[in-house]
Amino acid sequence: MGPRRRLAAFALGMFVFGGIVSVVVAFSVLPEGDRVFTVSSQTELTESRVITEPGYILQSLSAESRGGLTVVEWHDSAFGPMAERTGSYITLYVDGAAQASSLRGGFQGEFEEAPAGLRWAGNLPPGRHRFEVKLDRVDSGFAVPYAADGSIGVDNLTVTEYPAADS
């Protein structure tokens, strides 16, 4: 190898080495406490999912937390009662403990499909956490979601961790 080629290889090596050092410094050494992290899980259905027994797990996921303000959101695109004068509780469990429940009623039992949701915001300690959304009460049954005529019902769970404001 001639001296010109050796020097070109040396310069390229320096460039690659410098780039690797920069990436390592940026993503390993520097703090990452101010970033937003999101994890989600989704189910898509083209037919109604009718649930008649309580205890049905709608969504679940595990996520590693840095600790801090966490917002957990469950959304269903068309939550529909199957009988008149009924109600359904949807409960969020974090690490097995119930944190919040959303209640949806049904007066007529049909033509009352509508989006439904559950939203919880609170502080979690650092570490791995399990999030679970469960139907705790269904009375005569609920479609979660109702889907027909080519529609695509969605049911999803999103966990977002924010850097807290200083106010």
CB of 10 to other proteins, least distance (A): 8
| Alpha-carbon gap, residue 151 to 46, rounded angstroms | 6
Residue 96, SS3 per DSSP: coil
Closest distance of CB 45 from other proteins, Å: 20
The least CB distance from residue 15 to other proteins, in Å, is 5
Nearest to 58 by CA among 17, 117, 1, 128: 117
Which of 157, 142, 165, 128 lies closest to 53 in space, CA to CA? 142
- The token duo for 76 is 């269903």
Rounded to an integer, what distance in angstroms lies between the CA atom of residue 154 and that of residue 41? 10
Nearest residue (CB) to other proteins, 27 versus 150? 27
Which residue ranges make up the site for other proteins (CB under 8 A)?
A: 3-4, 7, 10-11, 14-15, 18-19, 21-23, 25-27, 30-32, 34-36, 69, 71, 84-87, 89, 91, 98-107, 114, 116-122, 136, 162-167
CB of 150 vs other proteins, minimal distance in Å: 26
Nearer to other proteins by Cβ, of 120 and 151: the residue is 120
